[in-house]
Structure 1
């Protein structure tokens, strides 16, 4: 499957998340409002931020599909990272608002007891999000989409949050209604944490950061190629869901230019099979090491 088709397939996962989040956020907001649960309302806001994330992923993937042009010789693949960076600020802002709204309420004397229906809604929501996580995680691995992988992690986080909310709301039914407000505050902090995590990942990719373990693995893959004596240097960078690598390999000094070229081709093909989108290989003769 070529890169364009992979990105289109990744979009399906983003659309799935978007539809589910819209349904759940509306349902939770009305249930939380009607049955007086601050935690469920906060969870609905959490899902609303996920709607923004899903839209950003979709937009980023759509732009990423655009082919390279004279102004963007490497393509538009970093659009995913830019979109998620902008979204991270929105998520953190929403989280801060949730904390500001609910933290002072912890210290008031009276706390309403939410209806038991809020427990069922949160539990069902958690189960649905576990299913969405499973689907998107498989799609992310298949398409090698970093943004969809991040979305899948967010799906799992939302599933755990909803299940945790349901468990916490049980305590409100046994004479501890303050737990609802405490849960809402905790959810606000989790929203902030999620936004900050997305912010860090986006900055890491946009600043050409690269996972050292992954780079070491790539070096070992290159050394598997016949006639590659050593890897003198290797650099990597992320372009959205794509990986670009620059490597200098060491080969025998008595090789002809054509023979060295064939080795470079073999390295390129081997690394493409390992998931690298683009690789530049420079050969160096062993005699000048």
Structure 2
């Protein structure tokens, strides 16, 4: 069924890397959700009014908010596909993340709304009327919601969309909520015990918890989450595979939305190699790794003196000293600048977020280490933040 819809409504549907194709998937998910949610919402509200079931009415209103969420998804994907402009040189792809956050907030609001209605029903119980029409409508709604969850999850996974995955979670919640309502109707029919409000409250709590989880998940990319470790590993492996690359560091990845990922890296090369040859190597790496990973890739060339006697003397002791501190790693860009009275040993250290030592403490310890080798040595350290695990 899913593949049939993809083929019917999305041109070149297998090319999910294409912005237009991605937009097509988002618009299809939004349209399918709007139509199906509107139909089952109207049916539930009508039956709920006839049978005086607050749970059925609340469930119908919840589906109405789902229809609104589908409109948000539809508009969000349309705006996310807008091209770059002067005010937004990196494009508008992050609007997709914003749409996902809005959907998550709507889910949370629906949970609170259902909880309020359920508590009112518990405090002021009203007689519920059993109807086979109610059972039929609820059973139909459960089937539709299960299919919605499957369709949205498959679609979200296909294009790696947090927004559509959030919609899938919402559809799953709705299927559970409607199932609880159906159970309460059946229990009332055979026992006369009205659990309408209590089951509605239980479902509301579940939806609220799910909404909070979805808000955390969809807001993370907007705040700037850590890049995919697999992407970092692949970039490192690809760059280090080139002859002439001595090492890499300072890999930084910025996500401006699906299909808008930028990365920069420092590549260490032998300082004694012809500079034009090294420059050509770095240019080649930029082009080929960028094409392979599908990201905007920029590489910076760092010449390294591999045969400097001073560096050979201090490198291992400095690395040993640095390793004694928790949260420090990767000494790089080491070079020496000799003078009449002293020699500066200049290098960078990557500092992780869990490092408790101050820069002054680290600088003092490393400086003492090199002065034990030669009192005329001074250290000049640049502390780099660890944006990735590289």
Give your verdict on TM over 0.5.
yes
Which range, TM-score by smaller chain?
0.7 to 0.9
The answer on 1:22 being equivalent to 2:38 is: yes
Q: 1:239 aligns with which of 253, 256, 270?
A: 256
SS across alignment from 1:173: helix
Tell me which moved more, 251-260 or 18-27: 251-260
Distance change (3 Å), C-alpha of 1:139 and 1:110: closer
* Aligned counterpart, 2:279: 257
SS across alignment from 1:262: helix
* Aligned counterpart, 2:233: 220
Distance change (3 Å), C-alpha of 1:266 and 1:52: same
Aligned residues: CA RMSD: 2.7
Shift of 1:91: 4.3
Give ranges in structure 2 of 5+ residues lacking alignment: 1-14, 306-332, 335-390
Shift of 1:231: 4.8
Tell me which moved more, 143-152 or 241-250: 241-250
Give ranges in structure 1 of 5+ residues lacking alignment: none
* Aligned counterpart, 2:291: 269
Contact 1:81 1:240 in 2 (8 A): yes
How many residue pairs align between the two structures? 282
* Aligned counterpart, 1:164: 180
TM-score by length of 2: 0.64
Contact 1:260 1:283 in 2 (8 A): yes
Distance change (3 Å), C-alpha of 1:109 and 1:223: closer
Question: Deviations for 1:104-142, whole angstroms, at most 9, x for unmatched residues?
Answer: 332456642432432332222111122222222222233
| Greater relative contact order structure (CA < 8 Å, 6+ sep) | 1
* CA–CA separation in structure 1 for the residues paired with 2:302 and 2:192: 71
Shift of 1:251: 4.4
Select the structure of larger CA radius of gyration: 2
Shift of 1:221: 1.2
Tell me which moved more, 118-127 or 27-36: 118-127
* CA–CA separation in structure 2 for the residues paired with 1:75 and 1:249: 26
Question: Deviations for 1:77-122, whole angstroms, at most 9, x for unmatched residues?
Answer: 1222333434544543443333223213324566424324323322
* CA–CA separation in structure 2 for the residues paired with 1:110 and 1:56: 35
Higher fraction of strand: 2
* CA–CA separation in structure 2 for the residues paired with 1:179 and 1:108: 13
The answer on 1:137 being equivalent to 2:150 is: no
* Aligned counterpart, 2:95: 79
Question: Deviations for 1:190-210, whole angstroms, at most 9, x for unmatched residues?
Answer: 443344334323432221123
The answer on 1:92 being equivalent to 2:108 is: yes
SS across alignment from 1:21: helix
Contact 1:7 1:143 in 2 (8 A): no
Q: 1:186 aligns with which of 195, 202, 216?
A: 202
Contact 2:90 2:260 in 1 (8 A): no
